[in-house]
Structure 1
């Protein structure tokens, strides 16, 4: 519950577009009075108010890739998997098609400066690299780099570039499943399987930008004191509800489980600061 809220706040605090969230106790009335349905974290829809409030123009193509094409690996182009969330009647996928073509162009190794210039005409690489820094620091396995889902691409009319928007962060702030979250240096990552990470990190200019964003995020939005203060505030807010949840609406076995989970998050913040320090000083 806290993971989704804190993760999206870290993204926004870093200057990235991301959903707002809030905690709600939900009741449903079928005509015989309200019936309790549990404590939830509600997440703002990207294809609604996120575009309306965090971009000056909401008319660009918005994609929610899902499936092999979401990896942007060579040969995976599939319009059915670049799921459009708006402009559905316009069969224009030229932006994501261009991204795939440029990403795998031979100039990446023969003429990196030209490759970067062409890539930056279609993808907001600064946004992606900052997202990558945040996502890797906080540890978030259920998205690009491990899984072919849980992000949006918005063709921002102000820049004519595809802009990365994170989504579904409830598995963040932990090592996670599916081989776990990616290490800060992406060791073990298959660049051909996840080229947006592998190819950009292998480029010395983009790696330097990524490293700078890592340093910026750990000293600002994800500094230990800031993130632990968020955990303290939000855990105090929801604890009275979470620890008295009705049977069938909770994953807690007893009241102590809640504080134990909060303590784990607190320790995670400290361990990530240590991991970043080790990475940057290596």
Structure 2
């Protein structure tokens, strides 16, 4: 059990390094998204061997949209804003569930949605450049795509690994035309090293560790441990890149993480009205 918990924690910490390495990449966002997704897709195919016939195109498209917009958001705004805004995804899942999954909202769900939207609004209080505003918006879009990926996966009962692998390949194909102009940077030691790390370690190895650990770790505990990602993502960027998020963004991130933690620790059933 302890080894499983450590595996989930290690996966979350590897995921959290994404913001720093995306910042370090000496090429535009689309080139980073292309190389990262292509390498991750090949890694999954070679080592984890998913059956792509079990993938769902709708889920794969949502996943591709999520990773493209997240990388672009991280390049345009602070890493903290990008990851915190993506973590508003549970609120969108709750809003989509009644329509897609026929699941009704409970009081705790509504409270979490309101908290998440409140936290989201705080990201736009700090004074930001026009490019950062676009990055913040793309961070929100990334969260929406992430929520769609979760909801569609639950609705269609598809193979998560197969859909994720296909999603990475779709993302690589979509961004390839925009990445060709950055080929010289991709072939430098720094460019190639960063992309190999992002594709093999930050996505590939992290997923493998999480998949092994989550088999033995209760879902609620795994969700809480996974919150190491949004906590450490901006810390790595601050320590090694010198990027400081604004005070209102930090406050918004705390509210967003608190809303996710509330929904995880206090399941909906505990807040359900008496039948």
Tell me if TM exceeds 0.5: no
Structure 1 or 2: more strand by fraction: 1
Specify the structure having the higher radius of gyration (Cα).
1
* Greater relative CO, 1 or 2 (CA 8 Å, sep 6+): 2
TM-score, structure 1 normalization: 0.33
TM-score, structure 2 normalization: 0.33
Structure 1 or 2: more helix by fraction: 2
